[in-house]
Amino acid sequence: MSRIVVTGASSGIGAALAEQLAARGDRVVLAARRKDLLDALAASLGPNAHAVAADVTRRTDVERLRDRAIDALGGVDVWVNNAGRGLSKPALELTDAEFDEMMLVNVKSALYGMQAIVPHFVEHGRGHIINVSSFLSRVPMASIRAGYSAAKAALNSLTTNARMDLSASHPEIKVTLVMPGLVSTDFAKHALHGTPPIRPGAGGAPPQTAAQVAEVIVRVIDRPVDEVYTNPVHAGIVQRYYAEPSVQ
């Protein structure tokens, strides 16, 4: 049984992950801004789930989330930075405010989470950080997601560098990067400026459900790896893209 914090847990991948973790007996703290949805989900999952309303774009909220989680669970073993938001606008049309929003929600929120929980992991000699990125961070197949893809690429680099530092000083603290592709959730609906229709199979693979992505994250919790594409088709696409970067 693990003690796990999941951000962005009120819907989509985060909610599906919370459901699977609670069902198998893990103790989870769920964090999101939408308190009503969060409370309802936690209530449906039973005594193994605790809801903490938090805006993870605020460092003080993330630190309060950490403290509440430690109090509720007696400690934290795994911290999943899952919160994120999309944006539909080409790169050359991005405003300062829009790009800043992408970096705040998709990168700084994860940085706050890592910086908040790592001292706890160091104190106890072990722990696991999981950062949820995107296949688009590696292969820019949707130019309308330029700002989002750029932010997730920054998250990839931040994650890798944190892993390098921790593996040298505290090898029992693991850091995993998870990269889903197209997922059948409300993510597209909640993207800034909405989302135009996306044809099935865009990105080289059919969309996954939130539950399918969550299953991969559960496996990673049990057997940590450095990086994983939730859809195995994407690994081959990435390899071909970097072998022939001019081919779209």
Helix (H, G, I), strand (E, B) or coil at 3: strand
- Active-site pick, 112, 148, 229, 241: 148
Q: Are 183 and 207 in contact (CB under 8 A)?
A: yes
Question: d(Cα 242, Cα 248) in Å, to the nearest integer?
Answer: 11
Angle at 57 between CA 150 and CA 85, to 5 degrees: 45
Q: Taking the chain, what is the end-to-end CA distance rounded to the nearest angstrom?
A: 44
Per DSSP, what are the bridge partners of residue 53? 32
- Residue 10 token pair: 């009120």
241 is known as an active-site residue = no
Q: CA distances (Å), 129 to each of 5, 47, 93, 150, in order? A: 10, 24, 34, 21
> Which residues are identified as catalytic?
148
